């Protein structure tokens, strides 16, 4: 037999953990000295300990581990538990990946502060355009809230236009406005330019986006989830140039290949001289 210290060393666990497993009935010692209280374990118990450690590393609770190693869980139920655990891990990885993207975007924002060349920004007039559009509300203007709303909107708009036999006449446009009420929510308008004779219906609206007489524009290259550094650099340029923004920037999607990291998008922010009354 092994003393608890030797068994812990062979099993690569702590003595404290073995005492805890004993207390919860997960791994009892093979023998406890009635006088000293010392715990002793048999070599055959290492197999059970290994199973406990493996299942615990998969994220199962000690109660679930005990049911599995005591064969209280059938094969089909165990498969179901493993599938559920796999789904939980996949969701955790996706959430961590999203957070990593946000950290990287914030880091790029810090690193790029003040680096936008004045030649990168063009002030120009944006002409009016007739578009077919669908709209929905996002919780905020943050990229992580806009993307899950705008993406499905554009997909659905394309599907509906194709079903109606309407051919877009130009690249997609996203525009924004404050949602009614407080809370920072915004209305997302996903739009595609259409011919002047196209009329709306129950499947989509047709509206005329008004001209923007003066817009500060800049080209963002990359995924829209990473647009924050470009948008903030544009905001700093607007302020430094003696202008002020008069609304949300439109987004003109010039190139949208399958890989979002290869996207090319023009941000079009309406501006006026800073001294103008709004």
Closest by alpha carbon to 217, among 139, 269, 140?
269
- Looking at residue 233, the DSSP 8-state letter turns out to be H
Question: Average model confidence (pLDDT) for the chain?
Answer: 88
**Distance, CA of 138 to CA of 153 (rounded, Å):** 11
Q: How confident is the model at residue 54 (pLDDT cuts 50, 70, 90)?
A: confident
Please identify which residue in the block is written with the tokens 């259409």.
194
120, 267 in Cβ contact below 8 A? no
φ, ψ of residue 209 in degrees (nearest 5): -70, 125
- Looking at residue 165, the DSSP 8-state letter turns out to be T
Taking CA atoms, 71 is separated from 21, 29, 51, in Å, by 17, 19, 12
Q: How confident is the model at residue 112 (pLDDT cuts 50, 70, 90)?
A: low
Q: Which pLDDT belongs to residue 278?
A: 52
Q: Which pLDDT belongs to residue 225?
A: 86
266, 234 in Cβ contact below 8 A? no
Identify the three-state secondary structure at position 14: coil
Identify the three-state secondary structure at position 24: coil
- Looking at residue 262, the DSSP 8-state letter turns out to be G
124, 217 in Cβ contact below 8 A? yes
Q: Calculate mean pLDDT across residues 76-96.
A: 85
Q: Which pLDDT belongs to residue 276?
A: 64
Closest by alpha carbon to 123, among 227, 212, 255?
212
Burial of 192 (0-12, 13-18, 19+ CB in 10 A): buried
Which of 99-103, 142-146, 147-151 shows the lowest per-residue confidence on average (mean pLDDT)?
Answer: 99-103
Q: How confident is the model at residue 11 (pLDDT cuts 50, 70, 90)?
A: confident
Look at residue 58 and tell me whether its pLDDT is greater than 80.
yes
Closest by alpha carbon to 253, among 122, 123, 154?
154
């Amino acid at each position: 037999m092994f003393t608890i210290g030797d068994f812990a060393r062979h099993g690569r666990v702590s003595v404290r953990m073995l005492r805890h497993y004993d207390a919860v009935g997960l791994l009892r010692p093979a023998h406890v000295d009635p006088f000293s209280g010392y715990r002793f374990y048999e070599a055959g118990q290492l197999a059970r300990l290994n199973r406990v450690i493996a299942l615990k590393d998969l994220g199962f609770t000690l109660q679930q581990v005990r049911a599995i190693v005591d064969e209280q869980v059938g094969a089909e139920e165990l498969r179901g538990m493993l599938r559920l655990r796999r789904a939980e891990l996949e969701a955790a990885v996706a959430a961590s990946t999203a957070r990593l993207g946000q950290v990287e975007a914030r880091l790029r924002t810090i690193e790029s502060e003040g680096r936008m060349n004045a030649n990168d920004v063009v002030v120009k007039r944006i002409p009016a355009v007739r578009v077919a559009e669908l709209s929905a509300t996002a919780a905020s203007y943050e990229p992580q809230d806009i993307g899950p709303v705008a993406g499905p909107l554009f997909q659905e708009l394309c599907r509906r236009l194709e079903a109606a036999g309407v051919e877009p006449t130009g690249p997609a446009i996203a525009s924004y406005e404050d949602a009614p009420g407080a809370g920072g929510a915004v209305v997302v308008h996903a739009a595609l330019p259409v011919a002047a004779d196209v009329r709306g219906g129950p499947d989509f609206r047709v509206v005329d986006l008004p001209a923007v007489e003066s817009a500060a524009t800049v080209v963002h290259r990359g995924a829209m989830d990473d647009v924050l550094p470009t948008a903030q650099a544009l905001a700093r340029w607007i302020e430094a140039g003696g202008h002020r923004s008069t609304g949300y920037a439109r987004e003109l999607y010039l190139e949208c290949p399958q890989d979002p990291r290869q996207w090319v998008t023009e941000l079009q922010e309406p501006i006026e001289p800073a001294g103008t009354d709004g």
